[in-house]
Amino acid sequence: MTQSNKHTTLIISLIALGVFSRFLPHPPNATAIGAVAIFGGFALQRISLSMLVLFASLFISDMVLNNIVYASYYEGFQLLTPGFIYMYLGFAISIFAGRWVKTNYTYGRIAGASIVSVVAFFLLSNFGAWLGNPMYPQNISGLIASYVAGLPFALNQFTFTALYAVVLFGAYGVFTKKYPTFA
């Protein structure tokens, strides 16, 4: 398999994992997206490819979820989730956490990257919820309420980001030992 084919296979596999993990029945925020972003940052040579994997996973799954699964919540076709920029940016930071893992590949760093991923997403997505949801007053009390409301989701997200990261990095370790030319 050529290097180009290896990267194409990896990119398609990561996008598929990200998309399908959002379609499977799961607790809120318990998907592979954070781990896919971390692993993409680690395994793909260019940040632009990591961003492609992340944003394609989110965009494809958002299109299906918003227009089929949650269509009754929206009027007409929904191209992007309201407040998407905060969620997408929160996950994009995970790519840089994956780059950090690449500098010294240890399970401690993988756990650290999972924590960074979840904290970044938590801070940005709940900030976006505070800004965009009239339920929250536009003051410090409203912001705090938004963060408090997001805490149960953060626990799910950390658990599943760490779990999927262990699976992805573990599979990578096993696979590259068996096929060293793939690394």
- Cα separation, 70 vs 183, whole angstroms: 40
Instruction: Write out the residue range of the structural domain in which residue 18 sits.
Output: 3-182
pLDDT of residue 105: 86
pLDDT of residue 159: 96
Number of structural domains in the chain: 1
- Cα separation, 29 vs 91, whole angstroms: 12
User: What does residue 31 show for φ and ψ, rounded to 5 degrees?
Assistant: -120, 180
Residue 14's contacts (CB-CB under 8 Å, 6 or more residues apart) are 36, 39, 40, 53, 57
Asked if 23 contacts 70 with a C-beta cutoff of 8 angstroms, the reply is no
pLDDT of residue 1: 64
CATH number, domain containing residue 146: 1.10.1760
All residue ranges of the chain with pLDDT < 50 are: none
Placement of tokens 């956490």 in the chain? 97
